[in-house]
Homo-oligomer: A and B are copies of this chain.
Amino acid sequence: MASKQQIKNLKFIFEPKSIALVGASPTPNKVSNVIFKSLTEGNFQGEFYPVNPKYQEITGIKCYPSISSIKKKIDCLMIATPAQTVPMILQECARLKIKGVVLVTAGFSEAGEEGTKLERQIKEICDENEIALIGPNCLGTLNPSTGADSIFLPMHKLERPKPGNIAFITQSGAVGSTIIDVAAYHGIGISKFISYGNATVLDEVDLLEYLEKDNKTKTIVVYIEGARRGREFFEAMKRINKKKPIIALKAGKFSRSAAAAKSHTGNIAGSYLAYNAAFRQAKVIEAEGLEDLFDFMKIFSQPLAKGKRVGIITNGGGMGVLTADAVDQMGLEFAEFSAEAKVKLKTILPSFGNVANPLDLIAEADGEKYEKGIEIMMDDPAIDALFIITLFQTPPMDERVLNVLIKASDDHRKPIACIMLGGAYTTNYQRYLDKYKVPSYNSPIAAVKAMKKFIEYSRFREPKR
């Protein structure tokens, strides 16, 4: 638990005008070299001061023998030196009034008694001096819009996402690394990424409070094994989820996996039953696994759904059937198209086609048919949300369909979920749509599950609609 001021001081970590890196190294693949490279080769625009008495310069950038020798204001200090050196460094921090620290080093309370003692010292120094410290034993932090990047995995192996409005807080560095890597690959923009490790100074609750007030953050994704302050954690989630959707993945659900969780973070994973009950009470959107996490976050930047009556449009019968199965199974409703919509839809179907939901445009459909069909369904007040299935494999489905899908996504009258599945050709189109934030899924079940979660959340946020 940190003070209000410490929480505020997180701004020095995410929006630093200057960063110093203690232990900066020219040795490839060393943690402190990876961070050095991210800060010098990424998009960080502020002042950067590498610190290491062993070097005069690293790849042409002046290197300082100590923090105090920098003689400039330092907003954020990144530390990647061995555990036993850390208390001394933090005392220097305190003297120099550095208020933001990211400490990625491991070997603290998760490593035994000696480390526990060091960790206690760290906490004392930070609390006395209002230092906001993330870590230790963490992967680091990232703000893509400022380039403040302390993630110690190399950029060529772990892509950095572009700026956006989804924030991630993760108790596991490993899981965190996959989350940002996948987010970057799928064009999902993020506001803040925080792997908080042992949560010695700032814990889950503090971070949630920070994100609650962060204007750049619209959706919050949480990976948690065990919260330090259970009650406060749930209260914060309950309060914040009313304003910004929280998607949560609880790991260490069972006795065996909880033991595994304990061994890697030193944390006791909380009882899953308690978490599950609390999530349900707070209407937090629970993900069963990583796939849910990605599937859900894609859909939440859309306008809230007014109800649960869904329409399905497809150019492949079987894909429509599979989507209908998922809609049935998950308890969404099939929209009964309005009379007006039916008349209009009839005109885009082949002579023997019936206006039904799912609407099957059959394999002869092209971009124009999709455009008309989607427009009619967007206009129809009897439809609350739309599943758009596109088999790009058919000859008439050329690039023009992409613009139709982007238009549907930009329409912002109803939430949509696109479903497409295939090899290189289709995947290439899907990556293109990612760039325009069109929510697309490789499977009917995944799309319907995500939409159901979003419709439930919409009802929670606007019960009267």
Contact = CB atoms under 8 A, between A and B. Distances in A.
B446 A393 contact: no
Nearest to A158: B393
A144 to B, nearest CB: 14
Contacts of A98: none
A254 B328 contact: yes
Contacts of A316: 172-175, 177-178
Given A290-B444, A318-B251, A442-B291, A157 B393 contact: yes
Interface in A16-32: 29
Interface string A172-198: 111111100110110000000000000
Contact of A291 (B156, B173, B328, B445): B445
A320 interface: yes
Contacts of A40: none
Assembly of this chain: how many copies? 2
A316 B171 CA distance: 12
Given A252-B321, A328-B256, A356-B260, A289 B443 contact: yes
Given A422-B182, A443-B290, A260 B153 contact: no
A334 B260 CA distance: 12
Interface residues of A, number: 84
A363 B112 CA distance: 19
A307 interface: no
Contact of A395 (B29, B289, B324, B325): B29
Nearest to A290: B443
Most chain B C-beta atoms within 10 Å of own C-beta, residue among A173, A290, A445: A290
A116 interface: no
Contacts of A289: 322, 326, 443-445
